[in-house]
Structures are given as C-alpha cells and as structure tokens.
Amino acid sequence: MVHQPEFVFTSKILRKRMKLNGCLIMGDIYIEKKYRVVYYKDKCISAFTCVAFYPERWVINNNDNKADLVGGWEDPQRPGVWIFDFNHDELEQFKQSAMVCPVQIIEIYNKETGERIFPM
C-alpha cells in the first residue's frame, strides 16, 4: 500500500518521505530558486514598510537603522546591494514589500529570463 508523500522543506532541498509496503522511502528533490530580489540597502531611508508587509524576510537592523533582508547576502561586486533567491511561494509577499517601499529600492527578477518583475 502506497501512502501520500510527506514533504519537508529544508533550505534548497525538498525532503520527500513516503511509505511503501510498510517501508519508509526517503529522497531529496532539489528546488531551484526561480526569482531574485535585489535590495539597495545603502539607499534605505528607514521607513520599514517592507518590514511591516513581510516581517519573515525583512527586519530592522538596530546597528545601522536600516532594513535587513533575512537570508540575503551582500553582492561582493556591489557593496550595499543585497541579494536573495526565492521560490514562487514567496513572490507575492516580496512584490508587496517592494511596492510599499517609498524609495523603490527593492527589485524582483525572474532568474530564468532575467526579466525585471518589479518595478516594471
């Protein structure tokens, strides 16, 4: 008897567990990050509207009083520019946080096509 698979997310890997005839079968499926957010932190004016709209990914940095992109990394070629790759399930939240930014310093790109999704 085959049971429905149980999925557990772990960073870039989707771990799949499934029971087949009483045996537990496990396997990893790599999840490709389809989108990229680019955040120009050095231009942040500390309005923190991004934090209000998506607090799971944007937090207040008390040291420099600017928003931090949770999970992001600073681009070594462009100091002050932070990057984070993500999946479709976070697209709407990132778009909302980018739309409410009063200085429009949050950009979203489709990694496959290079097309800028926001701002258009």
pLDDT tens digit string along 88-100? 999 999 999 999 9
Residues spanned by CATH 3.30.70.20 within the chain? 35-118
pLDDT of residue 9: 44
Judge contact between 90 and 38, C-beta under 8 A.
no
Higher pLDDT, 26 or 1: 26
pLDDT of residue 25: 52
Q: What is the CA radius of gyration of the chain?
A: 18
pLDDT above 60 (res 15): no
Q: In the chain, at which residue ranges do the beta strands (DSSP E only) sit? A: 6-10, 13-20, 23-30, 35-40, 58-61, 66-69, 73-74, 81-86, 106-110, 116-118
pLDDT tens for each residue of 32-46 = 789 999 999 999 999
Angle (CA) 102-97-32 rounded to 5° is 140
Q: Which residues pair with 37 in a beta bridge?
A: 84, 108
Q: Which amino acid is at 45?
A: I
Cα atoms found within 13 Å of the Cα of residue 55, Cβ hemisphere only: 1
Domain 35-118 -> CATH class:
alpha beta
Q: Which residues contact 95 (CB under 8 A, 6 or more apart)?
A: 108, 117, 118
pLDDT tens for each residue of 48-61 = 999 999 999 999 99
pTM: 0.73
pLDDT above 90 (res 6): no
